[in-house]
């Protein structure tokens, strides 16, 4: 394996990825490091991040605006799939990785780099997601992973960076490892490593605590078209604006915090704190509308496939035939998922108050009612139950006969 001369590094502006710049040059003999920072709506100032990369020795510092594809091509499919890893985590970080990887590959091809690099450590999921995605999209590219190999603690990495003029982070005292994008935040490390420790309020940034959430509840209505949320409270919103609004509404009322023990791809359990207010709210509303508009058997199979989809996205298998095949199934179901869901937001809760679908509701009042309009044929139940219960009665009869003998 020859040496890489020109490398495109996935860059966040944090310590690890900044230290990667001099490290790649000095320890790996790379001549030119070009950084690529993805704007995923994390709200960071990207201009200072660009300068930071240059100051750390990058020859070029690029920024890609990925917000729209992130929401339209990754978040919305996840909502349609009701994607929750292990039934709880809505994949806010995991969904961003295949998009960053494919942009990194595009940039590498454009600038004719012979390798890409990332600053993921060797015990996380993100390394798996990047490496697998890059290998699928561009097998010809080498992937350099300095942070997986250097074996430095955070303090040592900071000290290494200081030698090359990389300033120690202002928040040196902040012990947390944070990942952030428009879908939410993930917070790890520090005191959170003790699973019994209550997360300190300072770790949260986009959701209110229950104490600070408004005393007055707020009722909202979310409109879906073919499984996509398209309006909140009657206001049509493009996907990015809709996610922002959902984040604000749910976050204000303290809905969308998670504190979970999660099973990582590399086999360890980790304690994860998330704030994903909008995404969790929209998935909840979407599930509710599906319960009204999809048949019982489709719902049952879809639930199983949702689990598969969430698992493979978590495990870095976005660019696979199974993922696209599952999306094909979901897409076919979603043309029926049209309608409105009404929700009350209050003190950390999102309570479903009602759901309706003018075109696709499978709820038949004449079948469900206990009133005078009831059209269900009660007598037909008898014959149905006779046949339904036949195997049970035969089984019981045989068992009883054995006991007597």
- Which residues have a catalytic role annotated? 16, 97, 126, 177
Residues in contact with ligand ARG, counted by CB under 6 A, come to a total of 10
Q: Which of residues 345-384 bind ligand ARG (CB under 6 A)?
A: none
Q: From 145, 173, 148, 150, select the one nearest 161 (Cα to Cα).
A: 150
Q: Residue 91 CB, nearest distance to ligand ARG (Å)?
A: 7
Shorter beta-carbon distance to ligand ARG: residue 10 or 341: 10
Q: Does residue 181 bind ligand ARG (CB under 6 A)?
A: no
| Both structure tokens of 186 | 């993930």
Q: Does residue 306 bind ligand ARG (CB under 6 A)?
A: no
Q: Does residue 186 bind ligand ARG (CB under 6 A)?
A: yes
| Both structure tokens of 32 | 């030119």
| Both structure tokens of 304 | 């199983």
> Which of 17, 125, 127, 357 lies at the binding interface for ligand ARG (CB under 6 A)?
125
Give the CA dihedral 328, 330, 336, 342, nearest 10 degrees: -150
Q: Does residue 35 bind ligand ARG (CB under 6 A)?
A: no
Beta bridge partners of 354: 342
Q: Residue 93 CB, nearest distance to ligand ARG (Å)?
A: 4
Shorter beta-carbon distance to ligand ARG: residue 126 or 306: 126
CA distances from 387 to 380, 381, 382 (A): 12, 10, 9
Q: From 325, 355, 286, select the one nearest 84 (Cα to Cα).
A: 286
For residue 35, report the phi and psi dihedrals to the nearest 5 degrees.
-95, 150
Q: Does residue 208 bind ligand ARG (CB under 6 A)?
A: no
Q: Residue 400 CB, nearest distance to ligand ARG (Å)?
A: 54
For residue 378, report the phi and psi dihedrals to the nearest 5 degrees.
-60, -35
Among the residue ranges 124-132, 210-218, 369-377, 386-394, the one whose residues contact ligand ARG (CB under 6 A) = 124-132
Shorter beta-carbon distance to ligand ARG: residue 185 or 355: 185
CA distances from 328 to 80, 124, 202 (A): 11, 30, 42
Interhelix angle 321-334/296-314, rounded to 10 degrees, is 150
CA distances from 32 to 7, 12, 149, 155, 171 (A): 6, 18, 20, 26, 29
Q: Does residue 275 bind ligand ARG (CB under 6 A)?
A: no
Q: Token match 């709210």: residue?
A: 281
Q: How far apart are CA 83 and CA 309, in angstroms?
A: 7
> Which of 34, 56, 94, 100 lies at the binding interface for ligand ARG (CB under 6 A)?
94
Q: Residue 107 CB, nearest distance to ligand ARG (Å)?
A: 20
Q: Do 64 and 47 contact (CB within 8 A), yes or no?
A: no
> Which of 179, 275, 290, 306 lies at the binding interface for ligand ARG (CB under 6 A)?
179
> Which of 42, 93, 338, 357 lies at the binding interface for ligand ARG (CB under 6 A)?
93
| Both structure tokens of 300 | 């049952």
Shorter beta-carbon distance to ligand ARG: residue 68 or 269: 269
Among the residue ranges 119-127, 212-220, 332-340, 379-387, the one whose residues contact ligand ARG (CB under 6 A) = 119-127
Q: Which of residues 308-327 bind ligand ARG (CB under 6 A)?
A: none
> Which of 126, 275, 288, 290 lies at the binding interface for ligand ARG (CB under 6 A)?
126
DSSP 191: G
Q: How far apart are CA 37 and CA 55, in angstroms?
A: 15
Q: How far apart are CA 21 and CA 30, in angstroms?
A: 9
Shorter beta-carbon distance to ligand ARG: residue 228 or 310: 310
Shorter beta-carbon distance to ligand ARG: residue 17 or 334: 17
Q: Residue 186 CB, nearest distance to ligand ARG (Å)?
A: 4
Shorter beta-carbon distance to ligand ARG: residue 87 or 391: 87
Q: Does residue 272 bind ligand ARG (CB under 6 A)?
A: yes
Q: Does residue 42 bind ligand ARG (CB under 6 A)?
A: no
Binding site for ligand ARG (CB under 6 A): 93-94, 124-126, 177, 179, 186, 262, 272
């Amino acid at each position: 394996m020859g040496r890489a001369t020109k490398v495109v590094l996935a860059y966040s502006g944090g310590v690890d990825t900044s230290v990667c710049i001099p490290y790649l040059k000095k320890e790996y003999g790379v001549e030119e490091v070009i950084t690529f920072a993805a704007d995923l709506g994390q709200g960071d100032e990207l201009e200072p991040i660009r300068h930071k990369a240059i100051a750390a020795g990058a020859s070029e510092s690029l920024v890609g605006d990925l917000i729209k594809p992130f929401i339209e091509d990754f978040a919305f499919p996840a909502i349609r799939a009701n994607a929750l890893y292990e039934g709880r985590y809505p994949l806010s970080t995991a969904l961003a990785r295949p998009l960053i990887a494919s942009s990194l590959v595009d940039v590498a091809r454009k600038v004719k780099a012979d390798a890409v690099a990332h600053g993921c450590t060797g015990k996380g999921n993100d390394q798996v997601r990047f490496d697998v995605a890059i290998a699928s999209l561009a097998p010809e590219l080498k992937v350099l992973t300095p942070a997986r190999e250097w074996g430095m603690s955070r303090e040592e990495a900071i000290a290494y960076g200081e030698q090359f003029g990389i300033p120690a982070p202002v928040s040196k005292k902040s012990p947390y490892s944070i990942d952030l994008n428009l879908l939410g935040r993930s917070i790890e490390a520090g005191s959170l490593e003790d699973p019994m420790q209550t997360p300190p309020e300072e770790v949260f940034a986009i959701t209110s605590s229950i104490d600070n959430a408004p005393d007055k509840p707020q009722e909202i209505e979310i409109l879906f078209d073919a499984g996509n949320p398209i309006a909140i409270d009657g206001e049509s919103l493009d996907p990015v604006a809709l996610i922002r609004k959902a984040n604000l509404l749910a976050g204000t009322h303290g809905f969308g915090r998670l504190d979970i023990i999660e099973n990582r791809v590399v086999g360890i359990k980790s304690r994860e704190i998330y704030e994903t207010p909008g995404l969790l709210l929209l998935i909840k509303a979407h599930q509710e509308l599906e319960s009204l508009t999809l048949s019982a058997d489709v719902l049952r199979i879809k639930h199983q496939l949702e689990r598969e989809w969430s698992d493979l996205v978590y495990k870095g298998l976005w660019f696979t035939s199974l993922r696209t095949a599952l999306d094909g199934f979901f897409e076919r179901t979603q043309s029926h998922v049209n309608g409105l869901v009404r929700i009350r937001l209050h003190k950390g809760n999102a309570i479903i108050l009602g759901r309706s679908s003018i075109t696709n509701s499978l709820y038949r009042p004449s079948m469900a009612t206990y009133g005078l309009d009831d059209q269900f044929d009660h007598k037909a139940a008898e014959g149905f139950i006779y046949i339904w219960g036949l195997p049970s009665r035969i089984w019981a009869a045989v068992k009883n006969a054995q006991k007597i003998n």
